[in-house]
Amino acid sequence: MMVTTLTYTPRQWLGLLLGLGLVTAPHVNHLPPTILAFVAVVWLWRVAIIFRPDVQPGKIVLLLLTMTGLALLFAQHRAVFGRDAGTGLFVVALILKLMELKRERDVYLVVFLAFIVAATQFLYDQTLWMGLYIILVCGLLLTVLMTLNDAEGGLWRQVRAALTILIQALPLTLALFLLFPRLEAPRWMLLKQDRSARTGLSEFMEPGSITNLGMSDELVFRVRFEGKTPPMRERYWRGPVFSHTDGKRWSEAGRLTSVRTPAKVEFFGQPYRYTLMMEPQDKPWVFALDLPGDFPEQLIMKSTYQLYDSRDLADQRQEYHLESYTRYRAAAITRREHMVNLHLPGPPAQKIQDLVKNLSGYTAPPETFANNVLDHFRQKAFYYSLTPPAMDNDPIATFLFETRTGFCSHYAAAFVYLMRTAGIPSRVVTGYQGGVMNPVGKFIEVRQANAHAWTEIWLDGKGWVRYDPTAAIAPERVEQTLDIERQLETGAISYLDMDSEITRQLSWLSRAGQLWGSVDYSWQRWVINYRSASQQQLLSKWGIADLKQMFFWLGGILTLTTLMLSLFLLKRSRPGHLSAEVRHYQRFCEQFARLGFPRRIGEGARDYARRMAGDFPDQSELINRISAQFIRLRYEPKAQEEDLARFEKLVREFKLELEGKH
Amino acid sequence: MNLKQKLAESRFFKGEAPVKQPITLSHRRIYILPSRRGLAFAVVLLLLLLIAFVYNNNLVYLLTFALASVYFVSILHCFKSLSGLKVSMGRSSPVFAGEQAHFDLLIDNPAPWARTKIHCRLAQPEFISVPPQVQMSWTLAIASISRGWLALPTVTLASFFPFGWFRAWSPLRFDVGVWVYPKPWPKSVPFPDASADSAADQGHKHRGADDFYGLAEYRPGDSIKHIHWQSYAKGAGVFVKQYSGLQSRELWLDYQAVLNLPLEDRLSLLCRWLLDAQAQGLQFGLRLPGFERPPGQGELHLQACLQALAKF
């Protein structure tokens, strides 16, 4: 292949730079400021070169620039692998290459790098908007490539052509997306810093700032019960317990609670014996059925009754034999614990105090008050939503009085806050709830989507008693499963709210909000979380069971779409798609051809008419008229639509008669 | 056509057997392979797939599949950019060795879409763009090195449309060519034959107002002595004077008469004499071993003689 020097007009330069700028732009949020500044400066420099070619850097400046970029990268990340470092590397490489575009080849390299930078965007942001944005920007990048291979046509024509090809590629894209086997990457491929990016429970809870609950169907653990399996409503798998709050963020109460040995617990009834198989995870937590009575030695119980593994798990699957009782009573609470679980970041707002007073929090016994609060959630318009609005300032009050929309963390946090306002020691417990029985393996699978938050309040004589305020708003959630996918499938929850009365009262605005919510949900469920489990589930519905069949179908669809697309693309080369006047004229010529007087190669319409008029003298007038009209229609730009109609009529009525000859 | 013939390597690079008729480019004549850039892009796709796999990120998968599908669909578009073109060759005129031979390539685009940036490679690559439903001619130049029949080599039409990832190409061979005449001897040399020589001398002597009958446009090979400098100075172009006085003279140009020169130089000298004789309006004949053309006159006669030299 020849080496082609780049001849770019300022317009093309601007197009290229715009495309690359748009690709990099969303990275503003995650690039370190120094690298961001570097990228911005070099980009602006490059733009300046278009208008002032004399500011093009020399070799030495270029070398310095490259060194600077690499130094900045190294200073930031001290590595070239991993999400952040890799992204930085690609962005810096892209921007540096931009300074040295001499040949067409360099443009290709830059555009290829830009595709990778576009992809890294998805490691940070997976919203529908970002998806659409990146696809459009990729369309622009394809246009840049097209300008190199398409000499003519304005920019818009090329943008349109590139987008057309993108649309033509859509069916194949979908087939690949659905059928390409999704395999879990082995753990060793994940770099240390990327592991924390996976979904899962964290060491704190911040209901107001999370506006989108991840609904990963990633497996967390499996449980196989010996003998009886506890009913769904008792399957609370205990994780971190949060007692401390600053009003927004809830976290464990620090060293004090974690180091001490837990208070004695009295157990009732028969224990559940089971084997817990934890999938590899970043944290040493072991999610035992609430509340574990007997556990292996390597496990340690915090004073909040949470279990964790004392060993370095090194990302391996772990198996534990445990024993739990679902009926229990904690014997005592220390003074310290009592204090911590009553702590509020400041005096509660007047509105909250009024609410507590209205629900007789200051007068009635704790249990009555707790039930009153649950009734309040049940009767007032509180919604369960996976995508609640952000509540940045004073999330508790905002949730209770304004948005009234949230998921388990919101309800748990608000509930505990109200309890503490009324002077009842209470805390938030996080973990998982439910889990689906796998009928084949006879074990329960608990996935990230089962993550849950509930509360415990201290009742004298009863110990810590579990209250699940989310259950007040969505009883189905407790009775059936927390597996949202399954729930939506069975129609158990209709996603935003349970009450059809309320739905009717909603303004169109909230309907639009709901609509968007469900679009976003579908996006989450079908695109972002389309993983190996959901793929198998979906494909088995269509009878595609194994990998072999998957490839078989993929090949079939590939062949089919190719065939259809080539038919679509190439059919227009047949005469049927010539312009109308040519088609009519060809019909006219065919009449002569049938009698042995075809139009010769290269013979113009005028010459042919003269020849035919000579051979068919009594038709000569018509022949000349038709030919003249054809020439006019074909070559005169002023020809009108009705001229074409007249021409067609003329041709249709033209009948060549053999008697006319000799 | 059996499989062995179908897969013959020459089809892919040299093209099918040469033909005279117009060639319509179809799937039988168009070949497609990824270009080097296309291969590089395939590597990029693999890298994207790896990122998607490691991070288990469905949107990266989606982007990868979208780009891979575009990659795949662009094969069809690449094919489409050549498919349906009707290519034929126009007439071309003979040249003297060392000159550029010109071939007219006629490209007819009957389809309603434009063909842009078609690489046409003969001697050096050139770009052709043909608007929809338009016929275009394109002149290809090729250096003629030695005398004889210069067959048009394989003309390769290629396209990298739309994204440069694939190269569709079609090697075309046409049964056309041009005669390459020997390179005329650089200087005018007196005609060989004594009688002819005297005739020429006479011609020189007798050249006067009576004999001069007009001006003709300069053609390569015309004697520099006959250039009509007056009209050239006026900026009217280059003309040569033509004389009628010598019309009746006969001149035999004989290969045997030119001695002591290598073969090519002899032919070159004969070529020069033929041209001079024609320019001076002489009656001239050519005698080569195994070829003889009696004295005659006119353009056709000259061409026949030059062709004899080219073939010799």
* Residue A452 a catalytic site member: yes
Which tens digit of pLDDT belongs to each residue from A285-295? 899 998 898 88
* Residue A408 a catalytic site member: yes
Q: Which of A468, A483, A497, A589 is catalytic?
A: A468
- Tell me how far apart the alpha carbons of residues A478 and A470 are, in angstroms, rounded to a whole number: 9
Q: How confident is the model at residue A10 (pLDDT cuts 50, 70, 90)?
A: confident
Residues of A in contact with B62 (CB under 8 A): 131, 173, 177, 527
Of the candidates B54, B55, B73, which has its C-beta nearest A169's C-beta?
B73
- Residue scoring higher pLDDT (A484 or A514): A514
Of the candidates A123, A169, A601, which has its C-beta nearest B70's C-beta?
A169
Which tens digit of pLDDT belongs to each residue from A218-249? 778 888 898 888 888 889 999 989 988 888 88
Mean pLDDT over residues B102-114, rounded? Answer: 84
Q: How confident is the model at residue A4 (pLDDT cuts 50, 70, 90)?
A: low
pLDDT given at position A546: 80
pLDDT given at position A657: 67
Residue A618 pLDDT > 50: yes
Angle at alpha carbon of residue B147, lines to B144 and B150, rounded to 5°: 55
pLDDT given at position A481: 33
Mean pLDDT over residues A328-347, rounded? Answer: 85
Residue A80 pLDDT > 80: no
Phi/psi at A541 (5° precision): -65, -30
Across A199-317, the runs of DSSP E, i.e. the strands, are: 204-205, 219-226, 236-242, 244-245, 250-251, 265-268, 272-278, 285-286, 288-289, 292-294, 299-301, 307-309
Contact between B44 and A566 using a beta-carbon 8 Å cutoff: no
- Residue scoring higher pLDDT (A495 or A135): A135
Contact A329, A354 (CB under 8 A): no
pLDDT given at position B206: 42
Contact B55, A183 (CB under 8 A): no
Residues of A in contact with B120 (CB under 8 A): none
Place of tokens 């049940």: A378
Rounded to two decimals, the pTM is: 0.63
Of the candidates A169, A527, A530, which has its C-beta nearest B66's C-beta?
A169
Cα dihedral across residues A224, A226, A229, A234: positive or negative: negative
- Tell me how far apart the alpha carbons of residues A25 and A39 are, in angstroms, rounded to a whole number: 10
- Tell me how far apart the alpha carbons of residues B131 and A570 are, in angstroms, rounded to a whole number: 17
Phi/psi at B107 (5° precision): -115, 120
Across B147-201, the runs of DSSP E, i.e. the strands, are: 148-151, 155-159, 166-172, 177-181
Q: How many CB pairs under 8 A join A and B?
A: 167
- Residue scoring higher pLDDT (A574 or B181): B181
Q: How confident is the model at residue A426 (pLDDT cuts 50, 70, 90)?
A: very high
- Residue scoring higher pLDDT (A594 or B60): B60
Max Cα separation, chain A? 126
Tokens standing for residue B88: 């034929």
- Tell me how far apart the alpha carbons of residues A162 and B163 are, in angstroms, rounded to a whole number: 9
Measure B141 CA to nearest chain A CA, in Å.
Answer: 19
ipTM over 0.90: no
Residues of B in contact with A105 (CB under 8 A): 37
Closest CA to A336 of A244, A460, A429: A244
Q: Which of A27, A452, A483, A584 is catalytic?
A: A452
Which tens digit of pLDDT belongs to each residue from A499-513? 444 444 445 555 565
Q: How confident is the model at residue A135 (pLDDT cuts 50, 70, 90)?
A: very high
Contact between A122 and B56 using a beta-carbon 8 Å cutoff: no
Three-state secondary-structure class, residue A424: coil
Question: Among A210-219, A222-231, A375-384, where is mean pLDDT lowest?
Answer: A210-219
Q: For residue A355, is it left (φ>0), alpha (ψ between -120 and 50) or beta?
A: alpha
Contact A171, A568 (CB under 8 A): no
For strands A426-433 and A288-289, give the pairing. Answer: unpaired
Q: How confident is the model at residue A639 (pLDDT cuts 50, 70, 90)?
A: low
Q: What is the DSSP letter of B27?
A: T
Phi/psi at B141 (5° precision): -110, 140
Measure A520 CA to nearest chain B CA, in Å.
Answer: 14
Query: Amino acid letter at A259?
Result: V
Of A100-109, A216-225, B30-39, highest mean pLDDT: B30-39
Residue B252 pLDDT > 80: yes
- Residue scoring higher pLDDT (B285 or A439): B285
Residues of B in contact with A182 (CB under 8 A): 56, 61
Measured between CA atoms, the residue of chain A closest to residue B85 is: A573
Residues of B in contact with A604 (CB under 8 A): none
Residue B2 pLDDT > 60: yes
Of the candidates B80, B114, B161, which has its C-beta nearest A570's C-beta?
B80
Q: Please give the C-alpha separations between residue A321 and each of A10, A298, A445, in angstroms, as whole numbers.
A: 71, 11, 16
Contact between A116 and B47 using a beta-carbon 8 Å cutoff: yes
Contact between B72 and A172 using a beta-carbon 8 Å cutoff: yes
For strands B283-288 and B250-254, give the pairing. Answer: parallel
Residue B90 pLDDT > 70: yes
Contact between A579 and B65 using a beta-carbon 8 Å cutoff: no
* Residue A309 a catalytic site member: no
Contact A128, A94 (CB under 8 A): no
